[in-house]
Structure 1
């Protein structure tokens, strides 16, 4: 008997839409969220309880300065970035209220005016690289609240090559947030 190699046919990688549908159908355990990061479904825990007070303080400040028709919140929603094949559930976001009309579970990432990610040991890498790259081409303002480094960074002026502006301050110092917000964040409670 002569043995011949038999090629193994590999299935094509799942499409962005297929991955989104899979995330939607997942029964994610309480306290966890699923995101599409680097073309994979990643399940991670929601932020620790010690993050709640800084998140709430930041949300209240952002809501007071949000553009007309926008809302600041910390809800469990997935925002789609189809051109990048990604979908993220930011820790905090400011988005057009009209984005919540209609059916469906995913929101349009292009409607975001700001996202904030609070780093943790398990998400720090994605917050500083993967998400920064995707947000940097579309979202006007991105805040990275580095809970391990006790500092906050504001990225602004998105472009096809990423954000053109970056400013970092330690917790306790004010951080300027450019238009469409135009105010200084009080980080003393972080």
Structure 2
């Protein structure tokens, strides 16, 4: 058994091996490999800079119109026990007290709007799978920004697992985001790729 004073040397050797493994790792395109703790290397998809830029632009556009007591979030899961699904939207809006949770997830009934920015690796998930998941979880609004098509679609009024209303505009035309937001989203700022 190693003695306590030997721990830094052991950690250094372990870290060195992890860095060697990280440097030698052939991560698939679109994935990032990180060392986040003692558990080893963690791989997760990483968005492109343009993808993150479009998410940031959406965040900036939403902020002045957020209902009181809400904020945007882009890292927590929306966990849907009722339908056995869990997603991490690119951005969503929920009450601050719900987001200030010790959990890494929030329930879907607290989400006012979920937004996804399509990327080459997420197009089927964002355009198809999540289009079924979000209304099944009764999330009132689903905003789909599609830089591959240069279009934005707003889905609304979930009923029986489907959105009953949708509006699609090309980049440059405004899309009306209904109450409790109540504003015209300027889609001309988004960048196609």
- TM-score normalized with structure 2 length: 0.72
Separation (CA, whole Å) in 1 of partners of 2:84 and 2:164:
23
RMSD: 1.7
Query: Following superposition of structure 1 onto structure 2, how do residues 139-158 of structure 1 map, counting pairs within 5 Å?
Result: 139-158=139-158
- Compare CA radii of gyration and give the structure with the larger one: 2
How far does residue 118 in structure 1 lie from its aligned partner after superposition?
0.7
Report the CA distance between 1:161 and its aligned residue: 3.3
| Distance in 2 separating the partners of 1:44 and 1:118 | 17
**Partner of 1:157: helix, strand, or coil?**
strand
SS at match of 1:129: helix
Q: How far has the Cα of 1:58 moved from its partner?
A: 1.2
Offset, 1:173: 0.9
Structure 1 residues 112, 85: closer, same or farther in 2, change over 3 A? Answer: same
Q: Which structure carries more helix by proportion? A: 2
**1:58 is the counterpart of 2:58:** yes
Unaligned segments of structure 2, at least 5 residues: 1-31, 35-42
Aligned-residue offset at 1:133? 1.0
* Structure 2 Cα separation of the partners of residues 165 and 77 of structure 1: 27
In 1, are the aligned partners of 2:156 and 2:164 still within 8 Å (CA)? yes
- Alignment match, 2:104: 105
Report the secondary structure of 1:158's partner residue: strand
Tell me the residue number matched to 2:17: none
Aligned length: 150
Q: Where does structure 1 differ by over 4 angstroms across 4 or more consecutive aligned residues?
A: none
Q: Residue 132 of structure 1 aligns with which residue?
A: 131
Query: How far does residue 123 in structure 1 lie from its aligned partner after superposition?
Result: 1.1
1:95 corresponding residue in structure 2? 94
Q: Which runs of 5+ in 1 are unaligned?
A: 1-27, 31-42
What does residue 164 of structure 2 align with?
Answer: 164
